[in-house]
Amino acid sequence: MEWSQEIFFIAFLIAAAAIHEVHGYAVVTGTVFCDQCKDGQISLFDYPLYGIKVGMACPGSDGQFTMWREETTNWLGNYAMNFEGTPDLSGCYSQVSGNAQGSSRCGAAAGPAMHPRLMFRMFDMEMYTVDPLLSQPAQPMPFCSRSTSPVVAPAPPVRLLPPVPRLPPLPPLPQLPPMPPVPYFEASACPYQKWMMPEYKCYWKVVSPDTKVAIIFGLIAGRRYGSDMTLWEGMNGRGDPYRTLLREGTTALLNSYSSIQFPYHPLGVIQHMNWALMGSTRQVLHTALSFLRANSGSTAGTGTATCRFTPCK
C-alpha cells in the first residue's frame, strides 16, 4: 500500500470508529493533479489542484445512470465521496467535471475517467480509491520537453521574389511583470522565523497564512487545536509540546512546497502530524524534533541545506 493510500486508510479507520453505530457506509477517495505537459501522466512538474469538481457516475444495466455524486477537491487536491449502504461501485467511473473556482489555468480539459478500486471491506463498511485524475491546460507549458520531433516534409522549390523594402523597427515591448517564486530544484530549508518575515511572504504559494489548521491537517488536528486556529497563529506556538509540533509541522509543510528536495513530501508531513497527535506526548516531541531538524537544513547523510529565500519585490 502506497503512503498516500495509507493516510486515507488511517482516516477511514478513525471515521469508522466514530460512526460504528451506522451500518452500511462506503467512502471513495482520490486526488486530482494538473497535467501541465499534457502527457497523460504525473511528472515532476505536475501538482495537486484545489477547487476542482470531480464527478462519479454509476450506469445501470439499461445504460441509465443509477447514481451520480460530485465533490470538490481541497487544498491538497484530495476529494472524498460518501455513500450510504454498501453499493458495488466497481462499475462506476470518476472524472474531472469542472472548476469550482472558475479561474484555474489548468481546467481547460479533463483527463481520462478512472474506475474506483475496492481497498478493503470491514464492519459493513467499504473503502474505494481512484487512481489520480488529471486536469489539463489548453496548451502544454513552455518548459515541457518534446519527446519526439515532428517530421518535416521537404519544401518545394521556391521562386525568388524581388526584395521587399525594409520596414521601420518595431517599438520595444513593455517589460514583463516579475515571475512568482518557483519550487527550488536545489535543496532549501527555512526555519519558521524566516517564513514569518514580511519580506518573504510571497513564498506562501500553496497555502495562505489565514488558512485554517483543521482544513490542512484534518479532523484530528482540528480537535486538538480548534477549528478557528490559522496557520499563522500556529507558527507562533512555543512552550507546549503540541504547539511546538504545530509550529514545526506547518514550517515543514511550507518547506516541502518550496523545495522538491526537502526531506518530507507535503502529504508525508500531514501523515506524521496525525500519527504524532494520535500517540503519546513523547511521540509528539520526537516528531516535532524531526521536523525542526529538517527545517534547519539537517538531512541524514547529505549534510545541511541552506534557506534560499530572496526578498520579495
Taking the complete model, does pTM exceed 0.85, yes or no? no
In which residue are the cell numbers 519580506 written?
199
Whether 48 and 32 have beta carbons less than 8 Å apart is answered as yes
Query: In the chain, which stretches have pLDDT less than 70?
Result: 1-24, 63, 65, 67, 100-104, 123, 145-165, 167-168, 170-185, 299-303
Angle at 298 between CA 296 and CA 303, to 5 degrees: 135
What is the C-alpha to C-alpha distance for residues 233 and 213, in angstroms, rounded to an integer?
9
Centre a 10 Å sphere on the Cβ of residue 193 and count the other Cβ atoms it contains.
11
In what helix (H) or strand (E) does residue 53 lie, and over which residues does it extend? strand 52-59
What is the C-alpha to C-alpha distance for residues 154 and 290, in angstroms, rounded to an integer?
61
Query: What pLDDT does residue 154 have?
Result: 53
